[in-house]
Chain A
């Protein structure tokens, strides 16, 4: 029996409505007691939290590479790895390899299974067998399934396994060959651009399909005003839909691409200031359920190219917490709401036991100093890649340490 007693902690758990000073005891990787009068076993290791926040480890619903060092630095204990070209995750053996790779790591990476073979958007992948292997959600990563018939069959088939489908909202017929949002800025820069409603169009289609099939859908990133409106309406109608966004879409707008700054080249591309404000409001109103990092480590060779040729994506694991906390400081959400969006809610979307300080739950924990000031500097990131669009930004909030518990 190995036990850890966390003393002198500010315990916050949105799920348990917990926000106060106390102790937490874990035994064999599970949370076994919470309170002020815990009797710990004599051999328990004691962690003095010095009044800092002890909360569930962060859960990140969108990464494109396993990067446990970066995740742990960011307070993240579980990351959902999306399939991508080169790492398609479209067979049971491929997803098992991801689970196996977690041994000895400081943060957990769980695979999202591909919905179609080789992410081709045509033939269904072995959803049932991958679910048996432990996969909780399926989707084709950033490639949208453009064929409505294929996607409808996937939703229908997946619903029989009671599994979640995650689908990128992008009408690729409109976005193909483009790298920016169609606005006066992209017109001026001479960048091939697509209208932001390329995202909303796909959401509209998907909403109709989940209504028809009764399936559950999660959209990993929404980035524009129209999408917020559509999802708010769909939720009001009772459809089983959740969505997320990354800090880039509430902290930055298209101006960040400036004179062709490829570190700000993202997918979806950065939008207008109106869209940014709508995303922030969508967060405040609870339309947007979760915040994810979109962590996509890219090399210099992939980024230091002419804008059109540079790969889209950003590293985000190490900045997810601090950037999310900006929403607390500007009073968009409360601290508890903010933490819910990176702990409990993503856990609920995936159906994980973690993401809460509940007796019996796996002891995936994070000790946070939400006030600690620091400056985002691409050079000091532990991630192998440095492609952050927030370079040089002064922020507050750091993870002091994370602990991984035991999953059933």
Chain B
């Protein structure tokens, strides 16, 4: 597989194609949808290197030295914000985090203004989370630097899907051919959407499992199968990915009660028994123990990849920051 130029993507299984020599050519990372399998593999391969690097004591690199990274979170987040901040710092970037409470941005009018203000500060990369689908693209269209989507509404959360993929790759070797069951509130989940696109692009079989109010049939058009029964959805699955059930969905509008949800769709030992014996259990966090996942299963280190997901998160974000600023960095001669 010598590849001095970009390999022709359609000549072999793109899911398994060697990403060496392929260049991620998108200016931003706004979503997984629309990325080529090779784009995804480039990011995962880079992240792999950073994952190894992060296990050293000396973690600081200088490749983003002098670059400015702004993290703008219009929605509350602790772990994703920290993960991006840490990733930037480990690469030597100057990072600024602006947690914008939702109350101060009551009207979206200021969103573009805020973006333009930020742009005037000449950042090299902006990481944005926003509660509205498409909001990150709106900002990306109006700034001059690279933008990373850290979650927009129900739309996408691409770095989460990438870190999930990296975790799966670590535990399972490859993604192609795996059966992945994504369980819970698919309708409102950007994590689910990004994962569906990524896993299908890399050749996995994706099953969506949950109550019909949270897993509408329209998802089958994305290429996944829809199941409303855990036993059926989890049957022989290689990976079981649980989603967080948002508090506001539990109060009767979509589900009668948390205990009924846990009974029918919570991940318990008896339901997990339908999956393969070595099935990997994942959760994007933070978990509602006893709602979507049984606490003993969450803590089963052999089967749960939950801690590893967090670890891979930093590596994936380092890779994204590195790859997305590469073009800009190569323009500066005096670096």
Residues of A within 8 A of B (CB): 182-184, 186-192, 259-260, 301, 304-310
**Which of the residues A184, A186, A190 comes within 8 Å of B156, measured between beta carbons?**
A190
Q: What are 17 A-to-B residue pairs whose CB atoms are below 8 Å?
A: A183-B218, A189-B155, A190-B152, A191-B134, A191-B153, A259-B137, A260-B134, A260-B138, A301-B109, A305-B108, A305-B138, A306-B132, A306-B135, A306-B138, A306-B153, A307-B135, A308-B133
Chain B residue contacts of A192, Cβ below 8 A: 154
**Given A259-B134, A260-B134, A306-B135, does the pair A190, B108 have CB atoms closer than 8 Å?**
no
Which residue of A has the minimal Cβ distance to B152?
Answer: A190
User: Which residue of B is nearest A261, CB measured?
Assistant: B134
The docked-state distance in angstroms from the alpha carbon of A306 to that of B190 is 16
A243 to B135, CA, bound (A): 36
Q: Which 4 A-B pairs have the closest CB atoms?
A: A184-B221, A260-B134, A190-B155, A190-B154
- List chain B positions with a Cβ less than 8 A from chain A: 33, 107-109, 111-112, 130, 132-135, 137-138, 152-156, 190, 193, 216, 218-219, 221-222
A385: min CB distance to chain B, Å: 16
Query: Within the assembled complex, what's the spacing in Å between the Cα atoms of A190 and B149?
Result: 14
CB of B1 to closest CB in A, whole Å: 33
Whether A190 lies near B137 (C-beta < 8 A) is no
| A191 and B133 form a contact (CB under 8 A) | yes
Q: How far is the CA of A282 from the CA of B132 in the complex (A)?
A: 36
Label chain A's interface by main secondary structure.
loop
Bound CA span A148–B167, Å: 55
- Within the complex, the shortest CB–CB distance from A391 to chain B, in Å, comes to 15
Give the Cβ gap from A379 to chain B, nearest Cβ, in Å: 18
CB distance from A33 to the nearest CB of B (A): 56
Inter-subunit contact B138/A188 (CB<8 Å): no
Give the nearest-CB partner of B186 in chain A: A187
> Of B133, B156, B190, B222, which contacts A307 at CB under 8 A?
B133
- Residues of A with C-beta under 8 A to B155: 189-191
> Of residues A186, A188, A191, A307, which shows the largest number of chain B Cβ atoms within 10 Å of its Cβ?
A188
CB within 8 Å for A304 and B222 given contacts A190-B153, A190-B154: no
Further contacts, 10 of them, CB under 8 A, given A183-B218, A306-B108, A306-B153 = A184-B219, A184-B221, A187-B222, A188-B33, A190-B153, A259-B137, A260-B133, A260-B137, A260-B138, A305-B111
Cβ–Cβ contact A182 & B133, under 8 A: no
Question: Which B residues are CB-close (under 8 A) to A259?
Answer: 134, 137
Cα-based distance from A309 to B138 in the complex (angstroms): 12
Take A306-B138, A308-B153 as given contacts and tell me if A189 and B219 are in contact as well, using a CB distance cutoff of 8 Å.
Answer: no
Q: Of the candidates B108, B109, B190, B216, which one forms a contact with A187 in the assembled complex, judged by CB atoms under 8 Å apart?
A: B216
- A190-B190, A307-B133 given as contacts; is B222 within 8 A of A184 (CB)? yes
Q: Is B193 a contact partner of A190 (Cβ separation < 8 A)? A: yes
CB distance from B47 to the nearest CB of A (A): 24
Q: Give every chain B residue within 8 A of A188 (Cβ-Cβ).
A: 33, 193, 222
Distance in angstroms between the alpha carbons of A204 and B213 in the assembled complex? 25
A186 to B111 Cα, complex, angstroms: 23
Chain B residues with Cβ below 8 Å from A307 are 132-135
Complex Cα distance, B219 from A190, in Å, reads 11
* Distance (whole angstroms) from the CB of B188 to the closest CB of chain A: 9
Task: Tell me which residues across on chain A come within 8 A of B216, comparing CB atoms.
Answer: 182, 187
Complex alpha-carbon distance, A308 and B188, angstroms: 14
Measured between beta carbons, the chain B residues less than 8 angstroms from A184 are: 218-219, 221-222
A333, chain B: closest CB distance, angstroms = 33
Contacts known (A190-B156, A308-B133, A309-B132); A182 close to B193, Cβ less than 8 A: no
Chain B residues with CB under 8 Å of A305's CB are 108-109, 111-112, 138
Give chain B nearest CB distance to A300 CB in angstroms: 9
How far apart are the CA atoms of A188 and B152 in the complex, in Å?
Answer: 12
Instruction: Report chain A residues within 8 Å CB of B152.
Output: 190
In the complex, A186 Cα to B112 Cα: how many Å? Answer: 23
B198 to chain A, nearest CB (A): 14
In the complex, chain B residues whose CB is within 8 Å of the CB of A190: 133-134, 152-156, 190, 193
Rounded to whole angstroms, the CA-CA distance of A192 and B216 in the bound complex is 12
A260 to B108, CA, bound (A): 15
A187/B133 in contact, CB under 8 A: no
B153, closest chain A residue (CB): A190
Please determine whether A187 and B138 come into contact, CB atoms closer than 8 angstroms.
no
In contact, B112 and A304 (Cβ under 8 angstroms): yes
How distant is the Cα of A220 from the Cα of B251 in the complex, in angstroms? Answer: 37
Q: With A and B bound together, what is the CA distance between A68 and B305 in angstroms?
A: 64
Give A260 to B132 CA distance when docked, in angstroms. Answer: 11
Q: How far is A307 from B130 in the complex, measured between Cα atoms in Å?
A: 12
By a CB distance below 8 angstroms, the chain A residues around B109 are: 301, 305
B218: which A residues are within 8 A, CB to CB?
Answer: 182-184, 186-187
B31 to chain A, nearest CB (A): 9
Q: Which residues of B contact A309 (CB under 8 A)?
A: 107-108, 132
A310 to B222, CA, bound (A): 26
B111–A306 touching, CB < 8 Å: yes
Q: CB-CB < 8 A to A308: which residues of B?
A: 132-134, 153
- Say yes or no: A187 contacts B156, CB within 8 Å: no
Instruction: Tell me whether B222 and A306 are in contact (CB under 8 A).
Output: no
**Which A residues touch B156, using CB under 8 A?**
190
